[in-house]
Structure 1
Amino acid sequence: MLVLDWWFFAVAGPAVVFAGISKGGFGSGAAFAAASMLALVVEPGLALGVMLPLLMLIDLSTLRPYWGKWGLREAMLLILGGLPGVVLGALLYRVASPDLFRLLIGGVSIGFVIWQVSLARGWIAVGRKPMSDRVGLVAGVASGFTSFISHAGGPPSAVFLLGRGLDKTRFQATTVLVFWIINIAKFVPYAYLGMFTLETAKANLVLAPFALLGAWLGVRAHAAVPERLFFGITYVALTLTGIKLIWDGLT
């Protein structure tokens, strides 16, 4: 049961602002943590149900600033993989182990950052070819699946987009487009699984301004942050997200 008391909003308000900033400015990699924070005060399934309409609102409010700036090929690869990933998540939601996938995605996220840092520092020397289209499709399936079961689709897509060498705005705009589509695709199966209630709708109405504020702050932060610092923040967010996913998976 969802109780809309002061404790819920004390946790939910900052969590939703954080999700807006992450999705609006820094590739959404850590936005899933908002659902984890909400799970401290409500049942996890309801936490997912509360967050999805808010994430969709953030997606919608950030589409205009990034419209047409995305890498279309990369976006299409992630979407083509992401939609079957959503279907797979819906089919396996009742039986899949979210913890197993948290461990896998967390491990891949941290491993990718270590690999990129090693290349940049010259600790290893290999040809730096962009990740293939096939990797994009696999990353899309992983993004759609993990997004469905825990709103944690950001890390797999971030690994692929960083591996394609996109500049910061193309990276961000591509992420916005991809998760706008994926989150729309999640809505009907979420409703079928009973994740939306009258209480979650009331919570969404109260929390909507927090979502819009976070998105506004994120877009402005994106414009103000230099590209090198942006990718530094992205790698840090990817590392922290990976650690959090592994921690959640183990505990």
Structure 2
Amino acid sequence: MNALLTDPWFYAAAIPAVILVGLSKGGFGGAVGFVGVPLMALVMPPVQAAAILLPILVLMDMVSLWTWRGVFDRLTLATMLPGALAGIGLGWLTAALVTADMVRFIVGAVAIVFVTRWVYQQFRHGSVYAAQPNRIAAAFWGAVAGFTSFVAHVGGPPFQVYALPLRMDPKVLTGTGAIFFAVTNAVKLVPYFALGQFDTTNLTASAVLMPMAPLATLAGAWLVRRMRPEVFYPFTYATVAIIGLKLIWDGVIQMF
């Protein structure tokens, strides 16, 4: 018997993690899903938590792609995905050197700076301010998203650092993110397999948790379709700030 599957603490951490990640995949509060690995890491090594979640993320991506089919921004994808693939490659090359705690701290700090910048822009330009597309910025943040996604499945904040200020329609933003992370998660399967993370224990745990994945994803999509932009954006920025602080706290505590 798999010892992990008989541990009640595994379910206490993993079930809420999968539900929150699913809601995020559906588009409801993108930052909420970033607690997936940190939450599961309370009861298991972060690397194992990331390995268990990855097949579940791929299933959620399939549901999200179907839910948001035909709704996306082509330019954002074209400028961010090449960088994301490079970031995944860098994560693979440095897998033995970079810890998940270091990545949590860095991503958390980026998220807080990002939200602070947004608050400043609201006071200076008002709530209708929208940034212009920038290929260099898109490639850079795509690479950061790919790298942090590979290490700890926390590619959302870097993606949102670039995408949120564009102020796309919430449905377009969600559909664009769905394609972006479907591609990055599918690509991540190769290095995770090569690094030996898909053993029987981890795959069995993934299979047990998978039935919740599509339901949580569809619930997130249902909520997004009913949220107005003036509610969606402040909510998303607020969740980015909360998770950013949580990631910084976790990273500092574990490193020091």
Q: How many residues align?
A: 249
Give the C-alpha shift of residue 218 in structure 1: 0.5
Q: Report the counterpart of residue 182 of structure 2 in structure 1.
A: 180
Partner secondary structure for residue 26 of structure 2: helix
The answer to whether the 8 Å contact 2:67/2:218 transfers is no
Give the 5 Å matches for 1:44-193: 44-122=46-124, 129-193=131-195
Give the C-alpha shift of residue 248 in structure 1: 1.9
Give the C-alpha shift of residue 98 in structure 1: 3.5
The answer to whether the 8 Å contact 1:27/1:172 transfers is no
CA distance in 1, matches of 2:111, 2:10: 30
Q: CA RMSD in A?
A: 1.9
Equivalent of 2:207, from 205, 208, 215? 205
**Unmatched tracts of structure 2, length 5 or more:** none
Shift in alpha-carbon separation, 1:157–1:2, aligned structure 2, 3 A: farther
Whether 1:3 aligns to 2:28 is no
Partner secondary structure for residue 31 of structure 1: helix
Identity, in percent, stands at 33
Q: Report the counterpart of residue 240 of structure 2 in structure 1.
A: 238
**Unmatched tracts of structure 1, length 5 or more:** none
Partner secondary structure for residue 32 of structure 2: coil
Shift in alpha-carbon separation, 1:2–1:185, aligned structure 2, 3 A: farther
CA distance in 2, matches of 1:122, 1:161: 20
Whether 1:248 aligns to 2:243 is no
Partner secondary structure for residue 68 of structure 1: coil
Q: Select between 162-171 and 178-187 the one with higher mean Cα deviation.
A: 162-171
The answer to whether the 8 Å contact 2:47/2:152 transfers is no
The answer to whether the 8 Å contact 2:46/2:100 transfers is no
CA distance in 2, matches of 1:108, 1:202: 34
What do the CA deviations read for 1:103-140 (whole angstroms, capped 9, x no partner)? 3322221112112112212389xx96425111000000
Q: Select between 22-31 and 64-73 the one with higher mean Cα deviation.
A: 22-31
Return the letter of the residue paired with 2:23. I
Give the C-alpha shift of residue 151 in structure 1: 0.3
Partner secondary structure for residue 122 of structure 1: helix
What do the CA deviations read for 1:78-104 (whole angstroms, capped 9, x no partner)? 211100100100110111244333333
Return the letter of the residue paired with 1:105. V
Give the C-alpha shift of residue 39 in structure 1: 1.1
Shift in alpha-carbon separation, 1:119–1:185, aligned structure 2, 3 A: same
Whether 1:33 aligns to 2:57 is no
Give the C-alpha shift of residue 216 in structure 1: 1.3
Equivalent of 2:16, from 14, 17, 37? 14
Equivalent of 1:196, from 181, 195, 198? 198
Shift in alpha-carbon separation, 1:193–1:61, aligned structure 2, 3 A: same
The answer to whether the 8 Å contact 1:27/1:154 transfers is no
CA distance in 1, matches of 2:63, 2:146: 21
CA distance in 2, matches of 1:14, 1:52: 16
Instruction: Give structure 1 regions of 4+ aligned residues with deviation exceeding 3 angstroms.
Output: 97-101
Q: Select between 35-44 and 77-86 the one with higher mean Cα deviation.
A: 35-44
CA distance in 2, matches of 1:2, 1:177: 36
What do the CA deviations read for 1:39-80 (whole angstroms, capped 9, x no partner)? 111222111110000011111011012112111110122211
TM value normalised by structure 2:
0.91
Return the letter of the residue paired with 2:13. V
